[in-house]
Structure 1
Amino acid sequence: MNDRVFKETFRMSRATFEILCEYVKGITKQDSCYRKCIPLQKRVAVAVYTLKSSAEYETVARLFGVSKAIVSEIFLAFCQEVWQSLRPIYLAEQLSNSEKVDECVHGFEKLGFPQCLGAIDGCHIKVRPPGKDCTDYYNYKGWYSTVLFALVDYRYR
């Protein structure tokens, strides 16, 4: 599959996909005497495609030549591994502390948002794209941008 089709299929470049594989290599399985394991790249592809498409497990299973049970197992393991490996890098320490989480949930409840931990929003920031890969920056509004996402607690922190 060429790079354009890969990016359309998985919504990320091959380089980003390989970086993600490095972060989640904990989902790798060992070959047994009876069968070979599903390679890491295929496991990540199954999980990313499931997230990207919101397709039913049966559809993903047919696309990747595995069973629905395997899709379910891979998806759960992938999500848990992403949480374990990327949480310390991308989430503030406060979200790892159960007292802070309870405080945030309670604060949002007072504001009329039950069972809410944070508010997230994003915006497009106009940029001049690099000559190479400039299509990666072209947005649906018809101009070049990068996307900024922000997550805040009930006090806008």
Structure 2
Amino acid sequence: MSSSYSLEILKMAPSKNKRAAVALILLNILKKRREKKKVTQNRSIWVKPHLQERHRVGIEQTLLTDLLAQDGNDFKNFMRMDYDTFMMLQDKVSLVLCYKIAFNDYYKINFKVRLDIEKQDTYLRSSISSELRLAITLRFLATGDSYRSLEYLTRVSASTISLLVPHVCQAVYSHLQPEYMKVPCTEDDWKKIADEFRNKWNFPNATGAIDGKHIEIEAPPNAGSYYFNYKGRHSIVLLALADAECNFLYIDVGCNGRMSDGGIFKNSTLYRLKII
């Protein structure tokens, strides 16, 4: 619709319909502008040259190999764990139960497959090994580096890292949580924890030590003051429960920082257990 034709329609329209006509003209202009923005350019290259060299000079072939060739302390500093622990963790998250995920529903399939963080090669490109996926994730958790910074370190694209980090984190949590952070589920389990607090700390009738930690974030777009906490920063909150040996029994992450301690606890699944 041309602008001159639109003006002719506007002149001919009754006064009571002029506002509607103006609105239609503006919508048409906005639609054309959006269509222009959708025009994208073809990629000049499919994979950046420095990323294509990953299997020759990536950190698996260079940095990690050099660190392991030394006394092992540098590898532990880089990964925040020794090599044996790293390989144990890699084995656990590689052989897993397959889950079909739809929103928050999990449907368990009754056979084991090696596909949680392990991928297969294709004719177009080689896959990223489970060891490298785990190494990238551990380095991200240890340093908080940006995905772009990790791209230059690992020769894996930032867009790929943004997908694999949450995937590996979910795999690690799914496997380690039932073994190392099992939430007490019976009255006897809670009484055992209370006995440990009484015997070790002379603190009777305690079923756990609970506290929260603000995790600073960049405020999401249009979030306003939703995540703004009393410290003057934007954050989400980690709520944790520990036993007498300072081992985590339960965690809840994600409440907005502006909520009170009582509100955060009341919003957790732990509150619904009606144990504490």
TM-score relative to the length of structure 1: 0.62
Structure with higher helix content: 1
What CA deviation, in whole Å up to 9, does each residue of 1:56-109 have, x standing for no partner? 1111111101110111111011011112222222233568xxxxxxxxxxxx9x
Query: 2:128 aligned with 1:30, yes or no?
Result: no
The residue type paired with residue 137 of structure 2 is A
Which deviations, in whole Å up to 9, do the C-alpha atoms of 1:102-139 show, x marking residues without a partner? xxxxxx9xxxxxx978434699xxxxxxxxxxxxxxxx
Q: How far apart, CA to CA, are the structure 1 residues paired with 2:181 and 2:242?
A: 15
Corresponding residue for residue 247 of structure 2: 149
Instruction: Mark the CA change 1:117 to 1:148 in structure 2 (over 3 Å): closer, same or farther.
Output: closer
Task: Say which of 61, 71, 81 aligns to 1:12.
Answer: 81
Q: Which amino acid aligns with 2:240?
A: A
Q: What letter matches 1:19 in structure 2? A: M
Change in 2 beyond 3 A, CA 1:150/1:80: closer
Q: 1:94 to 1:121 in 2, by over 3 A?
A: closer
CA 1:122–1:50: 2 relative to 1, 3 Å: farther
Q: What is the match of residue 41 of structure 1?
A: 131
| Greater per-residue strand proportion | 2
Please state whether the residue corresponding to 1:119 is helix, strand or coil.
strand
Structure 1 counterpart of 2:83, one-letter code: R
The whole-number CA distance in structure 1 between the counterparts of 2:174 and 2:240 is: 22
Q: Following TM superposition, where does structure 1 have runs of at least 4 consecutive aligned residues deviating by more than 6 angstroms?
A: none
The higher-RCO structure (CA 8 Å, 6+ apart) is 1
Aligned residues between the structures: 116
Counterpart CA distance in 1 for 2:76 and 2:238 is: 32
Question: Partner amino acid for 1:73?
Answer: L
Which of 237, 240, 250 is the equivalent residue of 1:119? Answer: 240
Which residue does 1:112 correspond to in 2?
Answer: none
> Can you give the 5+ residue segments of structure 2 that lack an aligned partner in the other structure?
1-66, 95-115, 186-210, 212-235, 251-269
In structure 1, the gaps of 5 or more residues are 96-107, 109-114, 124-146
The 3 A distance-change label for structure 1 pair 94 and 69 is farther
CA RMSD of aligned residues (A): 3.1
How do 1:34-113 and structure 2 match up within 5 A? 34-93=124-183
TM-score by length of 2: 0.37
Q: Is the 8 A contact 1:118 1:151 kept in 2?
A: no
